[in-house]
Structures are given as C-alpha cells and as structure tokens.
Amino acid sequence: MVRDPLPGRRGKPRTSGLTMVIDTGLAPGTVRDIVESAGDWIDYWKFGFGTSALYSLDVLRSKMDVLSTSGIVPYPGGTLFEIALHQGHADRLLEKARELGFKCIEISDGTIEMDAPIRRKWIREAKRRGFLVLTETGKKRAGLTMSVEQYATQLAEDLACGADYAILEGRESGRNVGFYRSDGSILEEEIGRLMERLPSPDRVIWEAPQKSQQEFFLRKLGVNVNLGNIPATEVIALEALRRGLRSDTLRLVLEPDGRSHSPLMAGIQF
C-alpha cells in the first residue's frame, strides 16, 4: 500500500485538523452521497448564510439526520444569528435551534455591528445552553476591515470567553475579503503576523475555499490545520492535499531531482 507522503493526519474524533463544509443549498440525497463517500473527513457542516430557514422541516431534519449519524456537526450560518439579533430574536433563535436538534451555533457580526459586551453575552449564553460555539471574526466587505492586532485580539477574546473555535472570515469565494485579495491571493505578510499573535492556533478555523489558500495554510501550519468553507464536492480533494496525495503538496517532500526528503524542510509542522 502507498503511505501518505505527508504523515501525521489525525482521524476522527479529532479536535484539530478539522474540515468545515459550507452547504449553500444541497438536496438531502446529495448530502447522503457526499457523506457516504467523504464523511470520514468532514467535521462541521455549515448551512450557509440563512439557508436553514428556507427548508421544509422534513428536508432540514433529513439532512441533519444524515450528518449527525455520521459524526458530523451541523450548524446554521452566522448570518442567521445576525438577522435574529438585529430583529431582537436572538434568544428565540437559540431556542429554535435547540428544538431542531442543532448542537452548534455560530456567532458573528460580518454584516451587522455588534459591540464587545454584546458579543461576549451571546457567546456565554449559547455556552450556557449547551451549544458548541463557533465565532467568526471579520467583515463581509472588501479588504482588511481591522488591523492585524484587532483581528488577533478578537480571536483571542472569543476563545477566552468560551468559544470552542474561532473562524477567520473568508466568505464562500475566498476573494476580496479579509486577508484575501480580489484574485484570491493571500496577504502573506499580514496573515503571518496574525499567526504569530495567536495564543491557540489549533482553535482557529481558517476559511479557505480555494486550493491555493488551502495549500498555503498546510505549508504554514501543517496537515492538521483547521480549514473551513470547503465546497462539499471538494472534501476528498482537500484530504488528498493534506496527505501529500496531490502534486501540489507531494512536491513539498521531494528534492528538485524528485527524491524524497523530510517534510520538516518544507516548513511543515506536525
């Protein structure tokens, strides 16, 4: 059998090396097919934006049943929380999410404005109700909307307040938002400075829908980096990238003449 060229990939259950999928409207049958073929490599499943409010109860429960029985954690996108908070119904949203069987909630302010005390309040309230809590840092607008220091501070404060994982905003496109330029390339100097300031990098999920972005984080943080907003149909392709089973990462363990060398020489940390 062929061994993984990049060793050290963790299996389930895992607390790092997470893959979070974004679902923008897949049918239950499609979800079943994806989970059957790639479920071992999916940890969180985000019902993108406010899409979970558009399904019939039967369709929503059908999708959630497939995910939950496969050890995948489904959750509604943070935009739904933002809408509920803006309309004064955040408490009811948490109630309804629990009734529907969600065990995880995302708290974000990508579109609305939410001051720090309110953010802390809802992180703690969601934890009090027994949810896994994901928070998201960054705005759904073009460019860096905060300084690197502000990003690092908010990520650290969310985790200190009780969030299980903190997500760095990258949207579903990975373009023209946060640390990504309009062509999807990365502001490497700025994101490198952010990485240096993170107290718990294994509790950060980097939204990285594009292959070049995924490769960047694998090179910087290793095969067990947490990656999010992965299109559901590209989970196996990402897993191959993590393990060095694609040319893009296989070359990290090869000398220029094609001979193998230690992956540590390529800057990968295990």
Lookup: tokens for 6: 């990049």
Which long-range contacts does 141-145 make (Cβ < 8 Å, 24+ apart)?
141/177, 142/176, 142/177, 142/182, 143/176, 143/177, 143/178, 144/178, 144/179, 144/187, 144/190, 145/178
Is residue 137 assigned to a domain? yes
How remote is the C-alpha of 161 from its chain's centroid?
Answer: 19
CATH at 108: 3.20.20.70
In a domain, 265, yes or no: no
Question: Read out DSSP for 130-141?
Answer: T-EEEEEES-SS
pTM over 0.75: yes
Which segments in the chain show pLDDT lower than 70?
Answer: 255-270
Looking at residue 268, its pLDDT comes to: 39
Beta-bridged to residue 137, according to DSSP, are: 168
Q: Would you say residue 31 lies in a domain?
A: yes
Question: What pLDDT does residue 269 have?
Answer: 41
Query: Of 207, 170, 205, 195, nearest to 269 (Cα)?
Result: 195
- pLDDT at residue 258, as a whole number: 54
pLDDT at position 255 is 60
Is the separation of the CB atoms in 46 and 75 below 8 Å? yes
| The pLDDT of residue 149 | 95
pLDDT at 170 (0 to 100): 86
Identify whether 143 is part of a domain. yes
Residue written as token pair 């309309």: 87
Rg for the chain, CA atoms, rounded: 18
CA distances from 260 to 103, 217, 254 (A): 44, 22, 4
Measured from the Cβ of residue 16, the count of other Cβ atoms closer than 10 Å reads 18
The answer to whether residue 7 is domain-embedded is no
Q: What is the pLDDT of residue 25?
A: 96
Q: Is residue 10 included in any domain, yes or no?
A: no
Neighbours of 37 (CB within 10 A): 12
Residues near 177 by beta carbon (within 8 Å), at least 6 away in sequence: 138, 139, 140, 141, 142, 143, 169, 170, 171
Number of separate domains in the chain? 1
Report pLDDT for 200. Answer: 87
The pair phi, psi for residue 264, each rounded to 5°, is -65, -25
- Boundaries of domain holding 241: 19-254
- Non-local (6+) Cβ contacts of 116 within 8 A are 157
C-alpha 227/C-alpha 167 separation (Å) is 9
Q: Is residue 3 part of a domain?
A: no
**Does residue 64 sit within a domain?**
yes
How far is it, in rounded angstroms, from Cα 261 to Cα 263?
6
Separation of alpha carbons 151 and 173, rounded Å: 20
pLDDT of residue 259: 57
